[in-house]
Structure 1
Amino acid sequence: MSNILEDIKKTIIRRLPEEVQVAQVEFEGPEVVIYTKNPEIITEKGDLVRNIAKDMRKRIIIRSDKSVLLDPEKTIEKVREIVPEAAEITDISFDEVTCEVIIVSKKPGLVIGKFGVTSRAITKNTGWAPKILRTPPISSEIIERIRNVNRNNSKERKKILQTLGARIHQGTKHDSDWARLTSMGGFKEVGRSCMLLQTPNSRVMLDCGVNVAGSDDKSSFPYLNVPEFNLEDLDGIIISHAHLDHCGFVPFLYHYGYEGPIYCTTPTRDLMTLLQLDHIDIAHREGNPLPFTSKHVQKSLKHTITLDYEEVTDISPDIKLTFHDAGHIIGSAMSHMHIGDGDHNIVYTGDFKFEKSRLLGAATHKFPRVETLVMESTYGGKDDVQPSRNSAEKELMKTIYRTLKRGGKVLIPVFAVGRAQELMIVLEEYMTHGMIEEVPIYIDGMIWEATAIHTARPEYLSKDLRDQIFHAGRNPFMSEPFIKVRKPDQRDDIIDGKPAIILSTSGMLTGGNSVEYFKKLCDDEKNTLIFVGYQSEGSLGRRIQKGWKKIPLKEDGKTNVYYVKMEVKTLSGFSGHSNRRQLMEYVKRLTVKPEKIITCHGDQYKTVDLATSIHRSYKIETRTPLNLEATRIL
């Protein structure tokens, strides 16, 4: 590895201007970091570094050598002198390990400046490399917690990255002449998504989720006992998005000694942390503790590497990863993996939506190469035809109008991430334009914190929403009708009070506050329960969807029966998943035709039905493996 690093250092020095004083070149995870005594010369020539990185096919970061750093107090003065007041800086701190000045601002674009001129001025005048973060418009405990973990563990994190860098850049020992995919969860079922990608040189896990509706350990968690899986051999974990059925079991790996990286987008990291901690808390309160704790979530944070969309990154000796927008929830990503020297390209879609929504853009369908496509099939059955988003919105408004008119309350169980924010935007617009009565919209559970994370990452939202936030100065998430439920004793007042709309987790009524609302609202025919998301088999939501009128629930060691007299409505048009037509259209619209398509994340019938239709329509080889099967893809 030292020879590889030395060769890279020589190449970089040869390409840089002679006056640049290179103090050190290091691997830090997938990045090559250049420490220099005069970084301003390089930063003034942005194209130079970009071209070197492109030619070397490496991610290159420029940092100052510690010997040229300005004193922190003087640096703060200089930063405030350089950055316009309109940027509204809320905090300045320092990471002396990475030689970065961390600037938190309400308007980070002004800290960067046009074409990066302001941020370069900071480096030129202080030596510190600016790391620019957005001040969340809504205060976020999770974002603050993550920033503190990274700040307080900077030295440890650097050692982790250096160790990882040595592993990634060690060079290949074997030809990358085969690749295989082992199904460890989420095949011919929905829940506990997990698979292992193997090459002669690498072992990479794609997602590691839980089935929140599982009845026992065998049905709740991935099959980590497959013979080909060894924790010590794992090069990395790629997380497609933050829903628990894709990331909920990751802390377990750290509990049992995994020391490697997690790759995901920044919103996925933030939301994944939120949902994992909440999952642990709910399981503990319900007397079903999970086989890991919050300290393992914190440990995983130290090992998490965030990547932007379309950023090519080495993650093992023979695999390069590029994320693309999946359109499912904020930060959701399709993973494009380039194996070897052009030997094979595989895309794992994760959950995706091939349609624009109010919240997000449509999933990416343009890739340079794809030989194998692994795609979800949640709504892959031939009868899975969802109404348009517009007609779903109209039906939602009719149902709400009808309920409020008869003096009832509307309970909408939602996933904290994605559907909740989509509904908030819809409800805010319809109320603003007087199309439904203006009543309180109570936000309960993790939804408010998840929404705060959305407001902190507006660059990941739809263009229309970004324009509202950045240019019109209007943030619909902060509208007056939304009321955060802060304490449990507020719920009785809400239930006994005037007509209202309640958005509460969990989305499948598998636990959490939505179940408590359901128990107190279900026997009143004036009220309405609206499902807007997928209800997994075995969940309370699915039983109510099927028409159960007597619901037995175990509480405090005894079984209580609840009678469903409230109106029950299912609106599928708000799903973050593509329906059958969109799934077929997605394959048709791919810019390159895959040689093989593997379907996953769907009930057995839907997985097979979609695969059969793809083969019949597009003459592409399809596979529908079961859990525990290994499929050779190269």
Structure 2
Amino acid sequence: MKINFIGGAGTVTGSKTLIETKDSRILIDCGLFQGLKSLRELNWDPLPILPSTIDCVLLTHGHLDHCGWLPRLISQGFKGKIYCTAPTKSIAKLVLLDSAKIQEEEAYKANEEQYSKHTQAEPLYTIQQAQDVTSFLKVIQPNTPVVVANDITAVFESSGHIIGACSITLTLEGKTLVFSGDIGRDDDVLMFPPTKPTMADYLFLESTYGDRLHPDLDVKKELETLINTAIEQKGTVIIPGFAVERAQSIMFLLWQLKTEGRIPNIPYILDTPMGANALHVFLENLQWHKLSVNDCHEMYKMFTIVSEFEETIRIIADPQPKVVIAASGMVTGGRVLSYFEHYISIEKTTVIFVGYQAEGTRGRRLLEGADEIKIYGNYYNVRAKIFQIEGLSAHGDQEDLLNWLSALKNIPKCIYLVHGENLPADALRIKIQDRYHFKCKVPLMGNEIEI
């Protein structure tokens, strides 16, 4: 059996792991590369094998870095099934449609304003190609064995990362392979703790926060302080948020703070075309999260939900203090760029990052103290105050990842650390070896192993 790390190795984006047996080919996740240009350019490259030869895709969850390349896979000949949970199907449809819409809009803008280096800028995929993915998505129930290919059984178990997110256990050729997907936190605001694996011959574990612990601080208090300080200065607060789950976590905390009278009665805005639709996903999948039906409705009532860009322009032009949650979370695209064009050079503006910022993204550069950022071909001076609340990340930290391994009843033959930059992955490798004495390796992108 061969395992090929096509993406999501040495980086936190572009997750794609290919399993090849004598009879079958299975792809775990099919994500989009984000961040560094050298990574983003890989999105245009073909896979090392023909998509038509892949039997199925197993999707751990619906974030863009795990599902965002599916339209390309299908347009290049993939004919199999894409297995996922019901919430993941709903989320993936929203995320892919939003991604395609942004790509079409940005290609159009680049051509209109002539800042593309290409003669004709083109989207990576179109809205129609994103919509074509839906018919391939096959819903499976969690905790239920499903035969996905020749004598290969898969079990999806909740990983606590976002709604519908799962780890996947594969049984094939007498071996048990566990793919973590993204692991959530043991004490997440909205999600239940992840289910721990009990048996694994080979385990493929994410390592996003493999070298750090989330600060043991009151995130609600942090959010309260930052917002009140900004509003006292008559400034605007911009929270780049992943439209699914992190946005809802922030909304939930803001709703609690406002209900408790701890933040002022000002406009609170969710500016993402996916925002209203994401509410339906939460309402239809109550068993996947901690919110009640009433919580969901009351929380959303507090926010102005923006879907049309004309409304975005009106809100940007309004000088009154406000709090805006806008995608994308790493400032790689989406409505948040329009807010940044206007507000990033204003000293009274406060930007609060609440999720991981991958290498090469605008979010990472801002956290590292960039004096200027480039948006749509233009440079903007950074005068806004930049903060990060690490305690609101949807990813487990080093201790959460180590704890996830604690229920194993056997000694794995090897643990491979994926979905992490090299330093965090290597730090986690050392910790795993010290605590559990498990054999542990950090594969590089393009590596192929035999097991």
Superposition TM-score, scaled by structure 2 size: 0.91
| Residue 442 (structure 2) pairs with residue 624 (structure 1) | yes
- The equivalent position to 2:186 in structure 1, one of 320, 334, 355, is 355
For these two proteins, the number of residue pairs brought into alignment is: 437
Deviations 1:305-343 (A, max 9, x none): 111210110001121011000111111110111114xx1
CA contact (8 A) 1:194 1:222 kept: no
| Residue 87 (structure 2) pairs with residue 267 (structure 1) | yes
How far apart are the structure 1 equivalents of 2:50 and 2:298? 44
| Residue 69 (structure 2) pairs with residue 249 (structure 1) | yes
1:281-292 map, 5 Å: 281-287=101-107, 288-292=121-125
Code of the residue aligned with 1:275 in structure 2: it is: V
Code of the residue aligned with 1:529 in structure 2: it is: V
| Residue 364 (structure 2) pairs with residue 542 (structure 1) | yes
| Residue 235 (structure 2) pairs with residue 413 (structure 1) | no
- The equivalent position to 1:233 in structure 2, one of 53, 56, 59, is 53
How far apart are the structure 1 equivalents of 2:430 and 2:320? 52
Code of the residue aligned with 1:427 in structure 2: it is: L
| Residue 148 (structure 2) pairs with residue 318 (structure 1) | no
CA contact (8 A) 2:273 2:307 kept: no
Structure-2 change in CA distance of 1:475 and 1:225 (3 Å): closer
Code of the residue aligned with 1:406 in structure 2: it is: Q
Deviations 1:480-522 (A, max 9, x none): 3211124333334433242211000111111211011112112
Code of the residue aligned with 2:193 in structure 1: it is: A
3-state SS in 2 of match to 1:379: coil
Deviation of the 1:550 alpha carbon: 2.5
CA contact (8 A) 2:90 2:281 kept: no
- The equivalent position to 1:387 in structure 2, one of 215, 218, 221, is 215
| Residue 23 (structure 2) pairs with residue 190 (structure 1) | no
3-state SS in 2 of match to 1:221: helix
Deviation of the 1:304 alpha carbon: 1.5
3-state SS in 1 of match to 2:71: helix
Code of the residue aligned with 1:249 in structure 2: it is: W
Structure-2 change in CA distance of 1:191 and 1:222 (3 Å): farther
How far apart are the structure 1 equivalents of 2:348 and 2:124? 42
| Residue 285 (structure 2) pairs with residue 458 (structure 1) | yes
| Residue 265 (structure 2) pairs with residue 438 (structure 1) | yes
| Residue 118 (structure 2) pairs with residue 298 (structure 1) | no
Deviation of the 1:366 alpha carbon: 4.0
Deviation of the 1:579 alpha carbon: 0.7
Deviation of the 1:436 alpha carbon: 1.3
How far apart are the structure 1 equivalents of 2:225 and 2:99? 34
Aligned partner of 1:77 in structure 2 is none
Aligned partner of 2:342 in structure 1 is 520
CA contact (8 A) 2:177 2:201 kept: yes
1:324-343 map, 5 Å: 324-340=157-173, 343=174
3-state SS in 1 of match to 2:218: helix
Code of the residue aligned with 1:259 in structure 2: it is: K
Aligned partner of 1:376 in structure 2 is 206
Structure-2 change in CA distance of 1:322 and 1:365 (3 Å): same
How far apart are the structure 2 equivalents of 1:543 and 1:413? 14
**Which segment drifts farther, 520-529 or 447-456?**
447-456
| Residue 394 (structure 2) pairs with residue 566 (structure 1) | no
Deviations 1:72-110 (A, max 9, x none): xxxxxxxxxxxxxxxxxxxxxxxxxxxxxxxxxxxxxxx
- The equivalent position to 2:415 in structure 1, one of 581, 584, 597, is 597
Aligned partner of 2:328 in structure 1 is 506
How far apart are the structure 1 equivalents of 2:39 and 2:364? 21
How far apart are the structure 1 equivalents of 2:423 and 2:6? 19
Structure-2 change in CA distance of 1:298 and 1:481 (3 Å): closer
Aligned partner of 2:305 in structure 1 is 484
How far apart are the structure 1 equivalents of 2:334 and 2:134? 25
Larger radius of gyration, structure 1 or 2? 1
How far apart are the structure 2 equivalents of 1:475 and 1:378? 29
Deviation of the 1:346 alpha carbon: 0.7
Code of the residue aligned with 2:236 in structure 1: it is: K
Aligned partner of 1:613 in structure 2 is 431
Deviation of the 1:365 alpha carbon: 0.4
Structure-2 change in CA distance of 1:293 and 1:527 (3 Å): closer
3-state SS in 2 of match to 1:434: coil
3-state SS in 1 of match to 2:141: coil
Aligned partner of 2:110 in structure 1 is none
How far apart are the structure 1 equivalents of 2:411 and 2:234? 54
**Which segment drifts farther, 322-331 or 289-298?**
289-298
How far apart are the structure 1 equivalents of 2:130 and 2:150? 27
Structure-2 change in CA distance of 1:460 and 1:197 (3 Å): farther
CA contact (8 A) 1:438 1:481 kept: no
CA contact (8 A) 2:87 2:285 kept: no
Deviation of the 1:230 alpha carbon: 3.5
3-state SS in 2 of match to 1:373: strand
| Residue 259 (structure 2) pairs with residue 426 (structure 1) | no
**Identical-pair percentage:** 29
Deviations 1:421-475 (A, max 9, x none): 111111111111112112221110134134223333333433x42xx32xxx443
How far apart are the structure 2 equivalents of 1:451 and 1:537? 27
Aligned partner of 2:115 in structure 1 is none
| Residue 2 (structure 2) pairs with residue 180 (structure 1) | yes
CA contact (8 A) 1:263 1:304 kept: yes
3-state SS in 2 of match to 1:608: helix
How far apart are the structure 2 equivalents of 1:622 and 1:364? 21
Gaps of 5+ in 2: 108-120
Deviations 1:167-186 (A, max 9, x none): xxxxxxxxxxxx22111011
Deviation of the 1:479 alpha carbon: 4.1
Deviation of the 1:233 alpha carbon: 2.8
Deviation of the 1:609 alpha carbon: 1.9
Superposition TM-score, scaled by structure 1 size: 0.66
- The equivalent position to 1:345 in structure 2, one of 176, 192, 199, is 176
Deviation of the 1:554 alpha carbon: 4.0
Gaps of 5+ in 1: 1-178
| Residue 398 (structure 2) pairs with residue 580 (structure 1) | yes
Code of the residue aligned with 1:278 in structure 2: it is: D
Two-structure CA RMSD over aligned residues (Å): 2.0
How far apart are the structure 1 equivalents of 2:446 and 2:29? 15
- The higher relative CO (CA closer than 8 Å, separation ≥ 6) is in 2
Aligned partner of 2:116 in structure 1 is none
How far apart are the structure 1 equivalents of 2:319 and 2:432? 52
How far apart are the structure 1 equivalents of 2:450 and 2:3? 6
CA contact (8 A) 1:208 1:222 kept: no
